[in-house]
Structure 1
Amino acid sequence: MKKRNSESSRLDRKTVERNRRIHMKDLCFKLASLLPPHLFKPSKDMLSQQDQLELAASYIKQLRERVEGLRRVKEEQAITTTRTSSSAMTSMMIGLRLPVVELRDFGSTIEVVLISGLNKNFMFYEVINVLSEEGAEVVSASYSTVGDKVFHTIHAQVRISRLGVETSRVCERLQDLIC
């Protein structure tokens, strides 16, 4: 009876181990299929599982470093933009004739800064309509009130990048709208 139990137990362990190996092989195959094909050098020899795992680990490390680098660049640009915007606002508020329309073209994105007085009424949705009609999609919009001035900032993305947006035409239409 004891001998039968030990044989049964040995068979169970072999089955469990075989299933574990099959599962691990399947996971390694799935991991390798997620890697971009350019990572595999064209060779006649197949990569071992260990090589595939090392390749995946180095690729993940490269991606992590790239993400961190992009995050740092984004933070630096945000800080620079904030400094530039605050100094620009200060200089603009001195001797400012309202309303002001300022458009910055960044290629595939544009930034619109509208400065108006509290007493100047224009419908914000009309500004968004102008941008939309000219081929830009509004990504974000914000406003702030400083004293008797209202600062509107709109970020828009060009819908069809090869056509772009004619910023001079947009600026003209916005001038007509808010003046």
Structure 2
Amino acid sequence: MKRSETTSKAKLERKTIEKNRRIRMKALGFKLASAIPDHHLTQPKEFLSQLDQIDEAAAYIKILRERIEALNGRKAQLMKSGNIAKAAGESETLPILTVKELGFGVEVMLISGLNKNFSLGQLISIIEQEAAEVVTVNISRAGDNIVHTLHAQVKISRVGVDTLNIGNRIHEMISTNSLNFS
């Protein structure tokens, strides 16, 4: 074999390797962009270049990191306050409910004792009846308390969701169930 044939084969092989690398990078870029919810994008995905999609993904990851840090701090604070309330003999302050609107979503956090007097299915049902779809549910134990955190997305963005009504209905559910358990 001549030297020129060997060189041309090597060039062709490098081109093929580079082409495959670009195809793989493009596929990974689209996979990353598809993980970003549409309401976090500055413009529709069709109009974003690959570089812009990666920038949007990086910004979304940063938002999620900050949110995780804030939630961890809040969880630690709630764990402290739960332990302090227990030590002071004020366990009747449970359950604690917070309902927050987060753009096109809702966060419901309910802290109850180990002998909770409600069904998680009832809680999800109330949220979904108020035009929000439950996306994630996280249940963790903090001392003698159980922390239920539910995240839901608004089904119809132009209608939104009434967080006050969700809170009132959950309080009503807990009150009704605690009377049944007594």
For the superposition of Structure 1 and Structure 2, which TM-score range results when normalised by the shorter chain?
Answer: 0.5 to 0.7
1:106 is paired with a residue of what secondary structure? strand
Change (3 A) 1:113 1:77: closer
Q: In the alignment, which residue of structure 2 is the partner of 1:133?
A: 125
Q: Which has the larger radius of gyration?
A: 1
TM-score w.r.t. structure 2 length?
A: 0.57
Q: CA deviation at 1:151?
A: 1.8
Change (3 A) 1:25 1:122: closer
Q: CA deviation at 1:169?
A: 0.9
Change (3 A) 1:12 1:67: same
Work out whether residues 79 and 142 of structure 2, in 8 Å CA contact, stay in contact via their aligned partners in 1. Answer: no
Match of 1:94 among 88, 110, 119: 88
What pairs up with 1:20-169 in 2 under 5 angstroms? 20-28=14-22, 31=25, 34=29, 38-39=48-49, 67=61, 70-71=64-65, 74-87=68-81, 89-91=83-85, 94=88, 96=90, 98=92, 100-107=94-101, 108-115=106-113, 126-135=118-127, 137=134, 139-145=137-143, 150-158=144-152, 160-161=154-155, 162-163=160-161, 166-169=166-169
- The amino acid across from 2:123 in the alignment is L
Structure-1 separation of matches of 2:61 and 2:85: 36
Task: Give the count of matched residue pairs.
Answer: 147
TM-score w.r.t. structure 1 length?
A: 0.58
State the Cα deviation string for residues 77-120 of structure 1 (Å, max 9, x = none).
4134413541354146535263732210122110011237xxxx
1:176 is paired with a residue of what secondary structure? helix
Change (3 A) 1:171 1:163: same
Work out whether residues 137 and 150 of structure 2, in 8 Å CA contact, stay in contact via their aligned partners in 1. Answer: yes
- The amino acid across from 1:38 in the alignment is L
Match of 1:18 among 9, 12, 17: 12
Identical counterparts, % of pairs:
10
- The amino acid across from 1:106 in the alignment is K
Change (3 A) 1:30 1:92: same
Change (3 A) 1:176 1:100: farther
Q: Structure 2: which 5+ residue stretches go unaligned?
A: 31-44, 129-133
Change (3 A) 1:164 1:140: farther
Q: CA deviation at 1:21?
A: 1.9
Q: CA deviation at 1:127?
A: 2.1
Aligned-residue CA RMSD (Å): 3.9
